[in-house]
Structure 1
């Protein structure tokens, strides 16, 4: 498994999978080991996936400075990764919480991105509100698991709002996991259960600790991004909902939104073929 020293000499690991032009991949979680991305629904048959384990997760080392887990500080890790790979410009894919990281990277290093794919991305870096959240949750009300998952979701939101610790929050987060999948079947449950050991608590908590981005400045920088941007949203995803994904896309001069029917927060699991076709087509456009 290859490794490299980042800007502060913290050793970061990454995984290379597939064939074709490189696609650098940043995992969400926040700070979940990149193994949960798998082969992105088979996208590795078309592209070489280079999946970074963010500091403190997967095969990457724990940093000496825990404040370096913060989202905006990890931008320097992404740039060190690009330099290590010897890429003048890169196609970059980010999922979920790592969408914030990719947005900040694009704002700071716009000339280093050739194409940007944001898959059900986070919105904090750009200050987009989670519009459509309640409606997306209510739309699952006929599901057999809804009552129990909704109670856990409500408890999670309440606990997070008052700053509860992981011992209280994590079981509620786990109980609400069904909302993140288009089908709450055995495969989805196994994928969700892996989150417990793939997402280290210190790194995950540090990602948003004292995170206060200058959203007007980030938005202004992204308004000048020349690279094409694809935002992939799940029809059933509460965060970001399709409405929020469209608000995010509006911040870029060259962005498109694809909403995958019947999918939620992990669209490559819910509809592999559609996801691969969507992303590969975007990356292949002249």
Structure 2
């Protein structure tokens, strides 16, 4: 057991970055969450200092759940508190589906949810409200066009930068600074989606009895709002919090509201 585990603060929280396959440096300290809990931020397979696996399938989010389980054992924890952002929530959910009894808390930050729920996306409606903003329009066009070269990592990263303004509710100094952090690994991104999850993935989540928090950005044009809210309903103890004037990165865009929601959720550890 780690020092301070379960004393009302400093419980370890494993934070899983999204991207997919973006260097976790973009998470920062999650608006100071590391001051209250010990943040453990792994570099997923093929990202940063973590090498690509010999088998592509081992780098899939479904298979990397086994890595999270090995991390839990290494840390000497009976159960884990997991926080995933964006594509990182796929890994967090894959772990919860395969090891439901090992989850103490599960926080899903702006998760893509269309692959798990039947709720129609309202992303087009949210996007429509931003029409007429030149920076947003250019970013949206880049997002829809995709990278210029799907086999070139530099082009892949350049595309992410061009599309970045579409991820935020506003494009201020803080957002622009944040968008420049955390490089993407193209090979790792491809491996991340190399294994399709089982067809009963969503049904398995009904067996996750630990408390689950879903944090949605009210203006998240990447995920939409309605499917994200529907995701919380898959869990017996799931609930959703909507952060206003916020896109895909709530700890950057609305740090106080983000911390209020997450701190209250983790308080019972």
Does structure 2 retain, via aligned residues, the 8 Å contact 1:104–1:125? no
Deviates more, 1:164-173 or 1:43-52: 164-173
SS in 1 for 2:67: helix
Preserved contact between residue 112 and residue 228 of structure 2 (Cα < 8 Å)? no
2:188 matched to which residue of 1? 203
1:26/1:39 CA distance change after superposition, 3 Å = same
Distance 1:63 1:154, change over 3 A: closer
Pairing partner for 2:196 from 193, 202, 212: 212
CA positional deviation for 1:91: 0.9
| Structure 1: runs of 5+ lacking an equivalent | 1-18
SS in structure 1 of the partner of residue 41 of structure 2: strand
Tell me, yes or no, if the aligned pair for 1:125 and 1:218 is still in contact at 8 Å: no
Residue of structure 2 equivalent to 1:241: 224
In structure 2, how many angstroms separate the alpha carbons of the residues matched to 1:105 and 1:57? 19
Give yes or no for the alignment of 1:92 onto 2:67: no
SS of 2:82 mapped into structure 1: strand
- 2:61 matched residue in structure 1: 71
Q: Is 1:272 aligned with 2:262?
A: no
Query: Quick one: distance in 1 between partners of 2:250 and 2:166?
Result: 12
Which of 244, 258, 268 does residue 261 from structure 1 map onto? 244
| Cα deviation 1:177-209 (Å, max 9, x = unaligned) | 1111122123322322334xx221111121112
Mapping 1:22-101, distance limit 5 Å: 22-101=12-91
Q: 1:155·1:172 contact (CA, 8 Å) conserved in 2?
A: no
RMSD: 2.2
* 32 and 284 in structure 1: CA distance in 2 versus 1, 3 angstrom threshold: same
Matched, 1:122 2:106: no
Contact 1:125 1:213 in 2 (8 A): no
State the shift of 1:127 in Å: 5.2
* Unmatched tracts of structure 2, length 5 or more: 1-8
In structure 2, the residue matched to 1:250 is 233
Deviation, structure 1 residue 23: 0.8
Check whether the contact 1:56–1:200 (CA below 8 A) recurs between aligned residues: yes
TM-score (norm 2): 0.88
Q: Which moved more, 1:30-39 or 1:143-152?
A: 143-152
- Please tell me whether the aligned partners of residues 234 and 259 of structure 1 are also in contact (alpha carbons under 8 angstroms): yes
- Per the alignment, residue 175 of structure 2 pairs with 188
Distance 2:76 2:120 in 1: 37
In the comparison of the two structures, how many residue pairs are matched?
260
Match of 2:206 in 1: 223
Query: How far apart, CA to CA, are the structure 1 residues paired with 2:61 and 2:239?
Result: 25
Inter-CA distance 128–213: structure 2 relative to 1 (3 Å threshold): farther
Q: Find the aligned partners of 1:109 and 1:165 in 2 and give their Cα distance.
A: 35
Per mean C-alpha deviation after superposition, the further-off stretch among 141-150 and 71-80 is: 141-150
Determine the structure 2 residue equivalent to 1:113.
103
Q: Which residue of 2 aligns with 1:154?
A: 144
- Give the TM-score normalised by structure 1: 0.83
> Are the equivalent residues in 2 in contact too, given 1:235–1:242 (CA < 8 A)?
yes
Q: Could you say which residue in structure 2 is the equivalent of 1:138?
A: 128
Tell me if the contact between 1:33 and 1:53 (Cα under 8 Å) persists in the aligned partners.
yes
